[in-house]
Structure 1
Amino acid sequence: MNLYEDSRRENVHKVVAIVKLISILFCGIIVFSIYGNRYNSIARISSDNYDLVSVTTICVGTLMLIYELWIFSYKRSRFQKRWDISDIIETILFVGVFYAIVFVSGKHLSSFKFLFLFIIITSTIQFGMYHGLLCASVCSVMILTTDLIFGTSNANANSFFETDLVLTGVFVLTAWLLGDYVKIEKNYREKLHALVNIDELTDVYNHRYFQEKLTTSMSEAEEMNHSVSLLFIDIDYFKSYNDLYGHLQGDKVLKNIAQILKNSINDQQTLARYGGEEFAVIAPSIPEEEAIELGEKIRCAIENTCFEGEENLPGKKLTISIGVSCFPDKSKTKLELINSADDALYRAKFFNKNRVEAYVSVLDELKKDIETEHIDLISSFKTLISVINAKDRYTYGHTERVVIYCKLIAEKLGLNEAEKRILKYGAYLHDIGKINIPIDILNKKTKLTFDEWKMIKSHPEQGIEILKHVPSLQDIIPLILHHHEKYDGTGYPSGLQGEEIPYLVRILSVADSFDAMTSNRPYQTRKDYQQAMEELQRCKAIQFDPNIVDMFVEAVGEKEGFIS
């Protein structure tokens, strides 16, 4: 819609500029006519070339004026959205030029008073009825005043005044009718804009507009060298609320929360309904720290508001969780910004809700634990994982979620800090070998051929090839190599069985499989969390370590409802 508005505005300014150019050409023709006639009468009396030079100078000067006014009018106002002091000055200049033409061509006797219509029309088209009527009124007063001053000695003064009174009526009528049309057209565009860009239920911007605005904001941020923060906001336990009170009551809550969010942001920030019970705020020109403060302000505003029936929700309050990310500090592209904010929101939902979480990359943490000479490799790993996520659209964010699950179960199992660190980094890098697998194989919906399956099964070894040159990461190599081993020995690549599989690998396998089951995959429909838990229990001692499955189910059970 913004592109349409820009195109429309540019076309309007083209039309206005052309009309102004035509009016200036008329002025030039009139000037040539007046001074040409004078030159001819003088030339019959004298052969002096003085008037020839004068007329030539006037002609050249007029042509230059036409050119300069054309450039000034068109180039300056090409993408202007509203009138300002420069437009007032420009209008005054045009009115002044037109009155000068009327004055030198006979004052009240002039037949060129129609010139004022050009500036009345252009002013009305460009800036609306008020501006047009004001311009028409000024022009009318100038013409009628000229008649009263210079036409009083003429016997036909009344006829001149009556004729010009009709002309001024045409001025005002033109401005009024044209202005009314412009107003109707503007109202129609605003309604169309609302239909296209506004969410009907909450009266905030919709997902389509959010995508467009975020693109624009990031482009402007790159040009101006400033940041763009993105906040994702999700209502906690909203599914439970809908189940308790029905969707009509849920819609009322959405409307109320949308209004609170509107009141919590300023005019430079954009609020949109991202989908379902999720909202997004685009906050240009503020760093992550200020975005977190804004998130806390919003969170507190919701927490301190009473909602009907909230006493029956966990915690006895209806609350929100917020994820924050920032461009370009935490992400370099639009997709990275959206997914990093979404990941931060996921963490906020998973860890207790009713909180604001900023995005933290596991690889940024990894930089603290790696030798200085290998720091550059971390950026390369991040790029590789971004490429993998972009290729495998069914599992975008998979690695980040697996890290969260590993962190959860590590706490439950009481792992020491060194084990937690190895598990966390292994979880993040476990699929890095997929970089060499073609996108059509990763996303294939039908059964894989033997060669395609062989290529898929090679990704653990491919991952080792990438990481083996980094001494600081040697501890995570077993997790990369063996995360597809099965407890009964039927996995790959080594066919390890039971406790032959390293303990941390067995933990990663459960977390990895759980997220795979609860994500949309090309070969299966996403399971809900209860179904995934049941599948883990069914595969105990077949694919997974039974004790780890029990601990994982218990740990996630303690977080029951975190996706609500």
Structure 2
Amino acid sequence: MYQFENKLKEKIYEMIAVVKLFSLLFCGIIILGEYHVWFQNDPNWFINPAIPAIITCIGALVLAYKAWIFEYNNDKLSEGPEIADFIEVVVFMYFFSLLIMLTGAHESPYKSLFLFISITTTMRFGMNYGLIVAFISSGFLLSVDYMALPANKVNQFFEADLILSGIFILTTWFLGCYANIEKEYKHEMAILANSDELTGVYNHRYFQETLSRELEISEKINFPVALLLIDIDYFKNYNDLYGHQAGDQALEKIGKLLKNVIRNKDIVARYGGEEFAIILPNTTEEQAISIAERVRTTIECTSFEGEENLPKGSLTVSVGVSVFPAKAKTKTELINSSDDALYRAKFFNKNRVEIYTSILEELKKDIQDEHIDTISSIKTLISVINAKDRYTYGHTERVVIYCKMIANKLGLTQKEEKILKYGAYLHDIGKIEISKEILNKKMPLTEEEWNMLKKHPECGVEIIKSVDSLNDVVPLILNHHERYDGNGYPQGLKGEDIPYLTRILTIADSFDAMTSNRPYRDRKSYEEAVEELKRCSAIHFDPYLVKVFVEMIEANKDSEENFRSV
């Protein structure tokens, strides 16, 4: 819709440019015509006192043409008149008046010049401004006529100019009415095209277009843009209990609440299903968190029919927050980072606001300055992997969350937790060497393809081995596919020969792999994955760590199931 509006504005501006060009040509014809008359009738035409005025007019017209061309090239079609626009109208009305006075005043055949400025003003700024110009022009012409002849004579010029004034006003009025009707129709069509019918907020397409536009503006004038992604907690339970009609009523109510709680400049849209998005132009992270909390508390404090039967007794929302350009450099990164923050909010008990935090940014704080470029390259590689394998992106983020949770349960030191998180974030980086076809193959891998895939831990180590600060992370990347019974790869380590933190990562990695959809199989249910962990205890996994991990998952069962449904 935004692109359509731009094209429409360009077309209108082309029409205005044509009218302006004709007015310039018309003025040029008048000046050259008068110049020819003076040259023929007056040998001393060059000392005629009117010549400076004529030269001034020509110079002004040339400058106007240059200004209009510059304005057109910069796509400047204002929504309303600015000071420069007022100056332009005043200057040209002055020169049109001057030309009329130089060509006979009340007898001038060029009084229709004012029609040009009335038309362009109406097309650009609407009927009201056009009528003002038309009335001023008419007043000037009638005043000249009135002062030119004595009151006791029949003033035919005054009568003729009354008709001309009527043409000015009627033309402006008709053109303005048409423009207003078209504007209202366009507005209604835009509402229909851009609004979500159920909730009354903007739809997903408008959200995407507006976010792109706001980020373009942000890059030009250097202000931040924040994004909130909002998901309704336990909404599937609500639909199951009361049916989709009740669910639709809840969505409609939440849409109205969101429109009431945001600022005038903010844009709220339905992102999809039970998710909403709010674009916050020129908003810092602190301001975005404050608005997100206001959204969360407003919905928490609002009564919804039947909410007492939900797991926590009320209908609430979780909110993910990210900010451009501080936390994301592109539109895709901004949406993904907000989505990551929403994942965390859903996972950690819901009904909360989470701001996006990047593991990579934490990494940079612990890396020597000489290796910062390497970390930036790693970020690029991870982006490439995410593009090649849709599974890897969400998988990595979830494994980091699992590792953080089990680290807290096991009471790991701050240093051990940090190493475990970095290992979780980087454990699949070696997949950059694996082709997209292998990563997304739906049929079972051939032996050759499987052997190629098994090389990704060693490839990952090759990528980060030059960074001394990541030496402690190397064992996690290299050995996260080792098995407790010694039948893993690449080194065939067994039991406690597998580093402790690596054994934790292996369980988290395997659990998320089992409960995620893969190209070659559907995901296991929560219960099936837990049973698989227990069955493979002491075969694939450290039995003690399996016990602790299962206890942690059982304690967060609701969060896990809802997290999976996001």
Q: TM-score, normalised by structure 2?
A: 0.88
- CA shift, 1:430, in A, is 0.9
- CA shift, 1:273, in A, is 1.9
String of CA shifts for 1:213-272, please: whole Å, max 9, x gaps: 333333333333333222222222222222222222222222222222223332333322
Q: How does 1:421-500 map to 2 (within 5 A)?
A: 421-487=418-484, 489-496=486-493
Gap regions ≥5 residues in structure 2:
none
Tell whether the 8 Å contact from 1:339 to 1:397 is kept in structure 2 after alignment: no
Tell me if 1:213 matches 2:206. Answer: no
String of CA shifts for 1:93-139, please: whole Å, max 9, x gaps: 33333333333333333332222221121111111222222222222
String of CA shifts for 1:55-95, please: whole Å, max 9, x gaps: 77666544322211112344347412322233223223333
Describe the shift of the 1:313–1:109 C-alpha distance in structure 2 as closer, same or farther (beyond 3 A): same
| Mean CA deviation greater in 342-351 or 223-232 | 223-232
| Mean CA deviation greater in 499-508 or 21-30 | 499-508
- Tell me what 1:252 maps to: 249
Q: How does 1:339-378 map to 2 (within 5 A)?
A: 339-369=336-366, 374=371, 377-378=374-375
| Mean CA deviation greater in 189-198 or 245-254 | 189-198
- Tell me what 1:28 maps to: 28
Q: Distance in 2 between matches of 1:165 and 1:332?
A: 62
Identity %: 55
Tell whether the 8 Å contact from 1:405 to 1:511 is kept in structure 2 after alignment: yes
Q: Distance in 2 between matches of 1:423 and 1:353?
A: 25
Tell whether the 8 Å contact from 2:38 to 2:45 is kept in structure 1 after alignment: no
One-letter identity of the residue aligned with 2:350? K
- CA shift, 1:297, in A, is 2.3
Q: Distance in 2 between matches of 1:68 and 1:472?
A: 64
- 2:228 alignment partner, SS class: strand
- Tell me what 1:16 maps to: 16
Tell me if 1:303 matches 2:316. Answer: no
String of CA shifts for 1:273-303, please: whole Å, max 9, x gaps: 2222222222233332222222222222222
Q: Distance in 2 between matches of 1:373 and 1:109?
A: 83
Q: How does 1:286-435 map to 2 (within 5 A)?
A: 286-369=283-366, 374=371, 377-435=374-432
- 2:278 alignment partner, SS class: strand
Q: How does 1:31-50 map to 2 (within 5 A)?
A: 31-43=31-43, 48=44, 50=46
- Tell me what 2:110 maps to: 112
Q: Distance in 1 between matches of 2:283 and 2:129?
A: 37
- 1:445 alignment partner, SS class: coil
Tell whether the 8 Å contact from 1:14 to 1:74 is kept in structure 2 after alignment: no
Q: Distance in 2 between matches of 1:417 and 1:69?
A: 69
Tell whether the 8 Å contact from 1:204 to 1:271 is kept in structure 2 after alignment: yes
Describe the shift of the 1:531–1:207 C-alpha distance in structure 2 as closer, same or farther (beyond 3 A): farther
Tell me if 1:145 matches 2:143. Answer: yes
Describe the shift of the 1:408–1:170 C-alpha distance in structure 2 as closer, same or farther (beyond 3 A): same
Q: Distance in 1 between matches of 2:186 and 2:527?
A: 48
One-letter identity of the residue aligned with 2:489? Y
Q: Distance in 1 between matches of 2:556 and 2:291?
A: 27
Tell whether the 8 Å contact from 2:237 to 2:310 is kept in structure 1 after alignment: yes
One-letter identity of the residue aligned with 1:236? D
Q: Distance in 1 between matches of 2:212 and 2:364?
A: 30
- 1:512 equivalent among 509, 522, 526: 509
Q: Distance in 2 between matches of 1:532 and 1:466?
A: 32
Tell me if 1:171 matches 2:168. Answer: yes
- 1:190 equivalent among 176, 187, 196: 187
Describe the shift of the 1:374–1:23 C-alpha distance in structure 2 as closer, same or farther (beyond 3 A): closer
Tell me if 1:239 matches 2:236. Answer: yes
- 1:291 alignment partner, SS class: helix
Describe the shift of the 1:149–1:304 C-alpha distance in structure 2 as closer, same or farther (beyond 3 A): same
| Mean CA deviation greater in 67-76 or 116-125 | 67-76
- 1:82 equivalent among 67, 80, 83: 80
- Tell me what 1:266 maps to: 263
Q: Distance in 2 between matches of 1:206 and 1:181?
A: 29
| Mean CA deviation greater in 421-430 or 398-407 | 421-430
- Tell me what 2:275 maps to: 278
- CA shift, 1:347, in A, is 0.9
String of CA shifts for 1:387-414, please: whole Å, max 9, x gaps: 3223222332321210101222333445
Describe the shift of the 1:372–1:63 C-alpha distance in structure 2 as closer, same or farther (beyond 3 A): closer
Tell whether the 8 Å contact from 1:17 to 1:70 is kept in structure 2 after alignment: no
The aligned length equals: 558
| Mean CA deviation greater in 452-461 or 4-13 | 4-13
- Tell me what 1:103 maps to: 101
Describe the shift of the 1:155–1:70 C-alpha distance in structure 2 as closer, same or farther (beyond 3 A): same
String of CA shifts for 1:32-67, please: whole Å, max 9, x gaps: 334533443334xxxx4644x767766654432221
- 1:397 alignment partner, SS class: helix
Gap regions ≥5 residues in structure 1:
none
- CA shift, 1:27, in A, is 2.2
Describe the shift of the 1:441–1:177 C-alpha distance in structure 2 as closer, same or farther (beyond 3 A): same
Tell me if 1:131 matches 2:129. Answer: yes
| Mean CA deviation greater in 13-22 or 532-541 | 532-541
One-letter identity of the residue aligned with 1:311? E
One-letter identity of the residue aligned with 1:513? S
- 2:229 alignment partner, SS class: strand
Q: Distance in 2 between matches of 1:162 and 1:373?
A: 86
One-letter identity of the residue aligned with 1:121? I
Alignment RMSD (CA, Å): 3.0
Tell whether the 8 Å contact from 1:388 to 1:434 is kept in structure 2 after alignment: yes
String of CA shifts for 1:441-478, please: whole Å, max 9, x gaps: 32333443433222111001112223334444343333
One-letter identity of the residue aligned with 2:417? K
Describe the shift of the 1:534–1:141 C-alpha distance in structure 2 as closer, same or farther (beyond 3 A): farther
- 1:308 alignment partner, SS class: coil
Tell whether the 8 Å contact from 2:251 to 2:274 is kept in structure 1 after alignment: yes
Tell whether the 8 Å contact from 1:237 to 1:561 is kept in structure 2 after alignment: no
Q: Distance in 2 between matches of 1:525 and 1:173?
A: 70
One-letter identity of the residue aligned with 1:407? K
Describe the shift of the 1:367–1:93 C-alpha distance in structure 2 as closer, same or farther (beyond 3 A): closer
Tell whether the 8 Å contact from 1:303 to 1:317 is kept in structure 2 after alignment: yes
String of CA shifts for 1:425-449, please: whole Å, max 9, x gaps: 2211111211222333323334434
- 2:42 alignment partner, SS class: helix
- 1:407 alignment partner, SS class: helix
Tell whether the 8 Å contact from 1:487 to 1:497 is kept in structure 2 after alignment: yes
Tell whether the 8 Å contact from 2:57 to 2:95 is kept in structure 1 after alignment: no
- Tell me what 1:63 maps to: 58
Q: Distance in 2 between matches of 1:529 and 1:479?
A: 25
| Mean CA deviation greater in 138-147 or 356-365 | 138-147
